[in-house]
Structure 1
Amino acid sequence: MAIESDVLVIGGGLAGLTSALAAAQADIDVRLVTYKQSTLQQASGLVDVLGYRPNGDGPISNPFEAIPSLPVEHPYQTVGVDAVRTALSLFDEVTDYAGSHTDANALIPTHGGTIKPTARYPQSACAGIASDNRPMLLVGFDSITDFDAPLAADHLTSTGVPFDVRGVTIQFPGDLSADAKVTRYAKLLDTNGDVTVSETGGGGHRPARDALADRVKIYLDDETRVGFPAVLGDANAATVRATLGTSLGADVFEVPMGPPSLPGLRLEDQLFDALSDAGGFIESGNPVIDYTDDGSGTVEKVIVERNGAEIPMRAEQYILATGGLVGKGVESNREGVYEPIFGCHVAHDADRYEWFDEAVFGEHSFARFGVDTDTTLRPVDESGNIEFENLRAAGAVLGGYDYAAEKSASGVSIATGYTAGMNAATTVAQTNNVS
């Protein structure tokens, strides 16, 4: 017997979570099925709407003003500017992110010393915003080699930021191993557990936050804000920053890092909590491996593999949010490019050499591979015909845009996820009213 719901979302990333949340808040029975842990742990935690134009021009000051000039095949053109705004309002409602006070992009320093335009950003990054002219001290840990604070400071200075910035590298207090995971740093600061420190003359113990602040104080000059790698706690991150800030007499912020990303994991927790609060059901760790249809373009059910057993799941509406080439929502072989669950059409040149540009940073067509849709995000075939009446696609599985070059991944996921979820919920409601 099949497990039933009104809307079944396949994929637990930003697009899947947003679509499930939008449908659940519309009082629709929603089930989200995701195979692997969300890709949010691989993300910086910043939410970009549009940082650069497809031709590379930028950074863009106001992404909402730039959206209408995007190519017609871009997902933003499919859903429209108003849907982008409404979707972000839903995001703002269920998270504690900053940036909703303005349409303009914020400029946030990254761990490489670059400046990234972004529309929404964690509270932990607020004090590091590049439009602030206060002097900044960046603090790196010698055991976290991904963040070279002095080098990042030099790079920031070379970009012409309107503030003085220095970088120092210190040893993180305690006896964490050189290859400790970022979650170990976060947990130690979360609990404020005692660590062994050498400053007391060979083996004293101090709370971790106090010991860290003491090691930074000696490097402070006139800086009124201090940036650390994004490892400052998890469950108690705000408290960790506040405690360090009080000890240092400066505003403390986190510099977004590469994977694994604690800001990304914190965002994932907020979205999963919001979906649960809205009544959505979440099942993780089990892949969708197949589907059946009624022969006339309607998905009847999908098959989920659970501990070696094939479990049928049935819904009135389905949302495909499995990611792009990176997330395995789009795959390729010597025969071509394809969407692996439903076999949705993915436009691509038959000549594999045409998938790439000769220039390393050229316009690679593979970056825009994905499912094409109609105006309601239903996948269409090569002739533009709807492939499945009750299936919609959202997020990186969509084609027509290069999210890495545009810095638009999160925005597209949120906007198309919201639109897919609301379209699915509206269709279910209309069907139920008719019946």
Structure 2
Amino acid sequence: MARRALILVESHPKGIGLLYVQAAQRLGLHPVILSADPTRYDYLAAESIEAIRVDTDNLDALICECSRLRANYDIAGITGDLDSVYATISKLCRYFDLPGPNPASIERCCDKFAQRQLLADTGVPIPAYRVAANATDVESSAAEIGLPVILKPVAGTGSRGVRLCRDFDELAEHTAYLLGGKHIHPPYVLGETYPRMLVEEFAQGPFYVAHTMGNEVIGIAAGDFGHLPHFVCRELIYPAPLTDDEHRRIADISLSCLLALGLGWGPTNIEFRWTKRGPVVIEVNPRLVGAPDPQLIQLACGVDLITEHIKLVIGDEQNLRRTHSHTAAARFLVPDRDGTLDWIAGNNRAAAVSGVTEVKMYVEPKTPIVRKGDFRDCIGHFIAASPSLAETEAILQRAVELISWSITPFSTEQEQSAAPYPSSD
């Protein structure tokens, strides 16, 4: 009998890809990674994982590779966790008659303008918005909405290219940056090369993320960001400290989003701001959120979203039953300057703090640090869990205080050649 395999198409190199591999193995599956550049995943060699180089932007190439793999394996399912390839994955699932999301729904959702239109048409509360293709469109849209505004590309994840523009000078500067295409990552990560932009009302208020599986809201997390004008997450708390009524309102709107966008198969994460008019939807992401959110959810309530997602993908019965009620939180390390990371110390001491479940650094000493104004600015994270929010926060703080590092600023010439983004401070 052929060995059952789970095909994983791309992933975040430092995200939850390894967790998917490990979960697949626990379920008795043989994971196979398809990637345009397998060298991006440093865990593949360490875990002796089968990886195949293929153009993951090319559906025909993926069909050909999966057809070849069927000669040796029983392909139980195909999945991944990147927006850019998720629609392609769903088409692969359709081609091979495997469980998967609706390709049209995923494609519409990954276009933030199309997503906004669908949500607005069904009465879901969202910020005022306009779509723009050039600097003139951006300026007139901002004038109509009223400054400050959020300016961002119509596609992408992790706050890449997202900025608060507080005046027309900042707006012009960021428009030029987006039109220059410097925020766009390689095609197998983003898949968007056109310069459409969204100009949006700045929705102010506490930040929340609703995590769903199918048509069930698993829970809601709270997040905190660093200094504006960028949006770099500094902390996540699960579950969010909400009243029953606040939780119900966010959960109800989340289900309305799924209905409006034709989602409801598999995992989704929905971002909110709680404004003066209540919860407003910032974005719907039609996939499982990246690390460390799945770990927080499992620590807090016992639901392993990665394993349950794989079960859905391979047609097995899910178990979304909560087994306990704790508070889990993650704190991110974000440098305050560009330069060369000379050293970083205290990891082991921080990991030894009672209640800390993970200390993970993303960079090594002597690494150039070039802040980009998005999730890539984070150089590490801590995760802690306990029976209460106050205790979990105290554990995280003790761990963070044990970490220290040194960054030597670039010389003027190095700074000019390395700078990926206009100065904003």
* Fold in common (TM above 0.5): no
TM bin (shorter chain): under 0.3
Question: Normalized against structure 1, the TM-score is what?
Answer: 0.26
Of structures 1 and 2, the one with the larger relative CO (CA 8 A, separation 6+) is 1
Q: Give the structure with the larger strand fraction.
A: 2
